[in-house]
Copies of this chain bind each other. A is one copy, B any other.
Amino acid sequence: MATRSSRPEHAHKAFENRKRKPELKREAVLLTAAHLFLKQGYRRTSMEDIADRLEITKPALYHYFTSKDDILVGCYSHGIANILGRLKHADEATGTGLEKTRAFLHAWIEVITTLEFGQCVVSLDDNELAPAARREVRRLKRRIDRTLRQRITEGVADGTIKPCDIRLVAFAFGGAINSIGAWYDREGKLTTAEFSAAYADILIDGVSMPPERTPRPRRSATK
């Protein structure tokens, strides 16, 4: 209990001073918690882990959050708010359904790779949440999914996207994007923007070499 390791590598400075904007401290708790939840999982992260890392005591956490669940909900809320915010931007993009879909994926990928909160939304298991909170979180998640499907549907309608099983496509895109958190290295060489573009293109355009645009007729197209 005495010799706890863990230097404050994070934004724990918020707790250095007693009198300080409580919002900052809430934020600091969420940031730290999000980090640990992603690294070790929700269950394996104890309130003590979080407190230790912030160099405060366990009960102090309960000053800002009523329960561990509440902290998780906080991470989700932050993440979802961010995602929806950026996604709305992307939504205002004009263009073909295909372009809008691409913009949507871009934005989504960016949130995931930029914010740990965003990653919480896609990586953490909302089964941990109490029923009420879970319902709320799922409602918001569904909203993201629904928006994506609408873009795809538009694309199919205006002929820029191939007729396809929209549900399946949305799942494939979602899965590919959500998995990013598991391996993406924030310090990698690609810039976030480059990465987002490249990743979105892979998903949208596929990888198969497009048929040569030769005059000769071909039948054996991809499928």
Contact = CB atoms under 8 A, between A and B. Distances in A.
A210 B209 contact: no
A215 B102 CA distance: 26
Interface residues of A, number: 61
A7 interface: no
The quantity of this chain's copies bound in the complex is 4
A149 to B, nearest CB: 12
A165 to B, nearest CB: 6
A43 B46 CA distance: 13
A169 interface: yes
Interface stretch (A13-21, A77-85, A129-137, A170-178): A170-178
Interface string A169-211: 1011111111110110000000000010011011111111111
Contacts of A209: 98, 159-162
Given A175-B177, A175-B178, A176-B175, A221 B216 contact: no
